[in-house]
Amino acid sequence: MYLVGFYSPKSKSGVTELCLSIYNWLKLNTTLSAAYISYGTLEKEEISNELIHEFSKLSLAEQKSKVKQMKKEYDIIIYDASSQLSEGVLKLLPIVDRLFVVGEEHKDFAVKLQQIIQFDKIFDKSVKSFITHLQGNKTYIIRENKEDHVIGFKYTKKDTNDIGQMIYTDYVTHYINEKFIEKNEKVLKKIKQIPKDELFNGLYELGLDFEKALLFHKFVILRELLGQNSNEAIETLFPLLINSSFKELLEKFQNELLFITKLKI
C-alpha cells in the first residue's frame, strides 16, 4: 500500500544497510506487513515473497506488475534504489509515496531529482502511464524539513528508531488520505452522473449548501464556455469544491471571470 524509496548519488553510502535496518525495525516494532525491494543484488539475504532483489533485471512492465501486486499484499514496502542512477531507477522513483535521499550533502541533488521526476510525470508517457496505473501514486512527496532530515539526512544506526517512527507515522497519514480519496472518488462519480442541466439540484440533494451548489454550477458553465466539456470541468473543479469554503470558491470564480473579461477587451 505504501512505498518508501531510499537513494543516494554516492557509492557505498550505506543505503542498503539503512533500508534493511528499517525493514527489520518495522517487522519487530509494528503489526504492519512489510516487504523489501532492492534494485541491485543483496549478498546475504535470500529471495522470498517479501524480500526481492535484483529488481534491475526485470523489465519495466515486470517491475510495474510486481509493485502493483506487492502494494496489494503489504502495508509498507521499502524500495532500496541504492546508488544506481539509471533510467530504470528514475522511472520507478516517481511512484514512491515517500523518497529519502541519504546524505546531508545531497540536498541540492534531492531538489534537482524532484524536478526531474515532476517533469517526467508530466511529459514522459511511459512514466505517466506507470503512475496512473498504480493506486496511491497521487501522494508522491519529498518534504523539506531539516529537523526531520527528510531531504538529505546523515544516517547512523541510532537513527533507525526515529526514521522507523517517521515512516510509520507517514503510513498512518497515507492510509487516512487513501480512505479520504476513495470517498472523494465515490462522490465525484455521483456528481458526474447528474444531468448537467440539473447539476445545482443534484449537488443540493447530495447535501451541499444551497449557495455553494449554485456557485459550483455556475463555475462549471463558465468552464464550458471556455471549451471544457462538462465532465472535465467538474473533475478539475472538484478539488475546489471539496477543499474550499464558499468564500474561497467565490473568489476563485470572480478572479477567473475577471481574467476572461480582460482577455476580451
CATH number of the CATH domain containing 14? 3.40.50
Distance, in Å, from the CA atom of 239 to the CA atom of 204, rounded to the nearest integer, reads: 17
- pLDDT attached to residue 135: 41
Residues 157 and 209 in one domain: no
pLDDT of residue 155: 60
- Mutual angle of helices 160-192 and 230-243, in 10-degree steps: 130
| Residues 230 and 138 placed together within one structural domain of the fold | no
- Do 112 and 78 share a domain, yes or no? yes
| Whole-number pLDDT of residue 156 | 63
Cβ distance 208 to 216 under 8 Å? Answer: yes
Quick one: 115 and 219 in the same domain? no
Same-domain pairing of 229 and 152:
no
State residue 258's pLDDT score.
Answer: 87
Q: Is residue 85 part of a domain?
A: yes
* Regions of the chain short of the pLDDT cut 70: 83-85, 87-89, 92, 94, 103-105, 126-158, 264-265
Return the C-alpha cell found at 69.
501486486
Instruction: Tell me, yes or no, whether 189 lies in a domain.
Output: no
- Which SS3 state, helix, strand or coil, does residue 34 take? strand
Q: Which of 180, 214, 236 is the last residue of a domain?
A: 180
Q: What is the pLDDT of residue 203?
A: 94
**Domain span at 59:** 2-180
What is the total count of domains within the chain? Answer: 2
Within a domain: 185: no
Q: Is residue 186 part of a domain?
A: no
Q: Rounded distance, CA 40 to CA 47, Å?
A: 12
User: Phi first, then psi: what are they for 189, rounded to 5°?
Assistant: -60, -40
pLDDT score at 193:
94
**86 Cβ neighbours under 8 A, 6+ residues apart:** 56
Kindly state whether residues 225 and 151 are assigned to the same domain. Answer: no
Same structural domain, 243 and 114: no
What are the residues facing 37 on neighbouring strands?
A: 52, 79
CA-to-CA distance for 146 and 156, rounded, in angstroms? 16
Grid cell digits, residue 183:
470517498
Are 7 and 131 in the same domain? yes
Is 234 part of any domain? yes
Evaluate whether residue 62 is within a structural domain. Answer: yes
Assess whether 135 and 166 both reside in one domain: yes
Residue 48 phi/psi, 5-degree rounding, is -145, -175
Q: What is the pLDDT of residue 173?
A: 82
pLDDT of residue 211: 93
Exposed / middle / buried, residue 95 (Cβ in 10 Å: 0-12, 13-18, 19+): buried
- Which of 118, 146, 180 is at the close of a domain? 180
137 and 83: one domain?
yes
Domain presence at residue 216 = yes
Helices 210-225 and 246-264, interaxial angle, to 10°?
20
- For residue 99, which of 87, 117, 86, 72 has the smallest C-alpha distance? 117
Cα angle 169, 241, 190 (rounded to 5 degrees) comes to 95
Residue 136 lies in a domain: yes
pTM: 0.66
Q: Looking at residue 247, what is its pLDDT?
A: 92
Interhelix angle 160-192/15-29, rounded to 10 degrees, is: 80
Amino acid identity for residue 54 in this structure: E
Q: Which of 180, 204, 223 is the last residue of a domain?
A: 180
pLDDT value, residue 47: 82
